[in-house]
């Protein structure tokens, strides 16, 4: 599917996008274009039309999103809903109007119901309301699944919908206002070491569990799906394991060299109680299984941050 095709990646300057561009280079694409800020504001329909006319893609891989951790979701739920909804709906509609060969939509594990049985199976995605702290974001992204299936049914439009779990890896977002749990914890460790502090404060109780997906594995999964998969059913992509936030925090502290006391703040939310994907559909449909174990991925991420961070003065 990808060989000799013109591919446009929205959000290609971002964390996942940079890794995906590197992976796509091995698929023999005719060209690989990036649609991202500041050249293209993908919440603006006019900018989206200009993007299609300028890059003339055969395949669009839509990674662009407004995203963040629990605090960011609590602070900006309306922006997270509107921006993600508009980007997805307009990009897919214009893709149909421009008669492109394939649209690859990236959803989110936040689209699943709050109390989905673990491991999360794709067939459970409509069996309840998402966890409240990130429901606006999760539902906005899930509308691309509805649109994808509707456009395939009515127009014969070729689009697929992938559900990645929480990503991490070198080049992640370490901004404390919008980062996810792994980069936030890594930064906290190094800030504590810089300050000579012997305590580390972490939100919640540590009892919630999460699955984490190394970014290079995620890029592999997306490329394989774009190249080989063409059905309306959503597909989970992840590593297929779970770890408690408490155990994750202890592991990151050990790998980063912080040996002080971890202080939990139970007044802050834990978020969804458990998250782990059932990933056999990805293996069956396009041959993907994750290769990077958590300790190895964390060590690579910590080493990247150690070399690229700006220490506290």
- Both 138 and 228 in a single domain? yes
Average pLDDT value for residue range 140-165: 98
State residue 245's pLDDT score.
96
CATH of the domain at 247: 3.90.25.10
- Both 199 and 225 in a single domain? no
State residue 180's pLDDT score.
86
In a domain, 226, yes or no: yes
In a domain, 313, yes or no: no
In a domain, 1, yes or no: no
Report the alpha-carbon distance of residue 103 to residue 111 in Å, rounded.
19
- Both 149 and 253 in a single domain? no
pLDDT at 146 over 80: yes
Q: How confident is the model at residue 68 (pLDDT cuts 50, 70, 90)?
A: confident
- Both 134 and 189 in a single domain? no
Nearest to 276 by CA among 157, 109, 63, 148: 109
Number of CB atoms found within 10 A of residue 128's CB: 12
For the record, the structure tokens of 186 come out as 């890594």
Residue pointed to by tokens 């594990």: 109
For the record, the structure tokens of 225 come out as 């799906």
Instruction: Provide the percentage of residues in the chain whose pLDDT is more than 90.
Output: 91
- Both 17 and 154 in a single domain? yes
Helix and strand counts by DSSP (H, E) for the chain:
10, 12
pTM for this entry: 0.93
- As for how many domains the chain has, the answer is 2
Q: How far apart are the first and last CA of the chain?
A: 51
For the record, the structure tokens of 125 come out as 């995605």
- Both 269 and 279 in a single domain? no
Phi/psi class of residue 216: alpha, beta or left (left: φ > 0; alpha: ψ in -120 to 50)? alpha
CATH of the domain at 138: 3.40.50.720
pLDDT digits (tens, 9 = 90+) for 264-289: 999 998 888 888 999 999 999 999 99
Side-chain-side CA neighbours of 287 within 13 Å: the count stands at 5
Q: How confident is the model at residue 1 (pLDDT cuts 50, 70, 90)?
A: confident
Strand-pair category, 209-210 with 59-62: unpaired
Side-chain-side CA neighbours of 283 within 13 Å: the count stands at 10
- Both 142 and 251 in a single domain? no
For the record, the structure tokens of 136 come out as 């606006």
In a domain, 17, yes or no: yes
Cα radius of gyration rounded to whole Å, the chain: 19
In a domain, 174, yes or no: no
Q: Mean pLDDT across the chain, nearest whole number? A: 95
The answer to whether 240 and 290 have CB atoms below 8 angstroms apart is yes
Report the alpha-carbon distance of residue 159 to residue 161 in Å, rounded.
7
Number of CB atoms found within 10 A of residue 243's CB: 15
- Both 103 and 200 in a single domain? no
Report the alpha-carbon distance of residue 107 to residue 142 in Å, rounded.
6
Average pLDDT value for residue range 114-130: 95
- Both 192 and 86 in a single domain? no
- Both 192 and 132 in a single domain? no
Its domain, for residue 108, covers 6-169+212-240+275-291
Q: How confident is the model at residue 312 (pLDDT cuts 50, 70, 90)?
A: low
State residue 106's pLDDT score.
98
Report the alpha-carbon distance of residue 118 to residue 120 in Å, rounded.
5
For the record, the structure tokens of 66 come out as 């407004």
In a domain, 63, yes or no: yes
Q: Is 183 exposed, middle or buried (0-12, 13-18, 19+ CB in 10 A)?
A: buried
pLDDT digits (tens, 9 = 90+) for 226-268: 999 999 999 999 999 999 999 999 999 999 999 999 999 999 9
Which residues are known catalytic residues?
137
- Both 72 and 217 in a single domain? yes
Nearest to 239 by CA among 225, 221, 223: 221
Paired with 160 in beta bridges are 104
- Both 79 and 148 in a single domain? yes
Average pLDDT value for residue range 78-86: 97
């Amino acid at each position: 599917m990808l060989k000799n095709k013109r591919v446009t990646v929205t959000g290609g300057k971002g964390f996942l996008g940079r890794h995906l561009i590197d992976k796509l280079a091995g698929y023999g694409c005719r060209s690989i274009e990036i649609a991202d800020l500041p050249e293209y504001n993908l919440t603006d329909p006019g900018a989206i039309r200009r993007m299609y006319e300028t890059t003339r893609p055969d395949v669009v891989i839509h990674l662009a999103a407004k995203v963040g951790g629990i605090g960011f979701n609590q602070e900006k739920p309306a922006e997270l809903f509107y921006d993600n909804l508009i980007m997805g709906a307009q990009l897919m509609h214009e893709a149909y109007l421009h008669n492109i060969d394939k649209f690859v939509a990236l959803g989110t594990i936040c689209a699943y119901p709050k109390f989905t049985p673990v491991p999360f199976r794709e067939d459970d995605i409509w069996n309840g309301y998402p966890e409240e702290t990130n429901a606006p974001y999760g539902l906005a992204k899930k509308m691309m699944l509805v649109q994808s299936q509707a456009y395939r049914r009515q127009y014969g439009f070729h689009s697929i919908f992938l559900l990645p779990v929480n990503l991490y890896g070198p080049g992640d977002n370490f901004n404390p206002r919008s980062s996810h749990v792994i980069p936030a914890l890594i930064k906290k460790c190094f800030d504590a070491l810089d300050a000579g502090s012997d305590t580390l404060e972490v939100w919640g109780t540590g009892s919630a569990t999460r699955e984490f997906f190394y970014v290079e594995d995620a890029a592999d999964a997306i490329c394989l799906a774009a190249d080989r998969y063409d059905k309306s059913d959503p597909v989970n992509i992840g590593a297929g394991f779970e770890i408690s936030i408490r155990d994750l925090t202890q592991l990151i502290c050990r790998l980063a060299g912080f040996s002080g006391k971890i202080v939990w703040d139970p007044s802050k939310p834990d978020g969804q109680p458990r998250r782990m994907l059932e990933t056999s559909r990805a293996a069956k449909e396009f041959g993907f299984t994750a290769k990077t174990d958590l300790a190895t991925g964390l060590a690579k991420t910590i080493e990247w941050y150690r070399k690229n961070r700006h220490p506290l003065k």
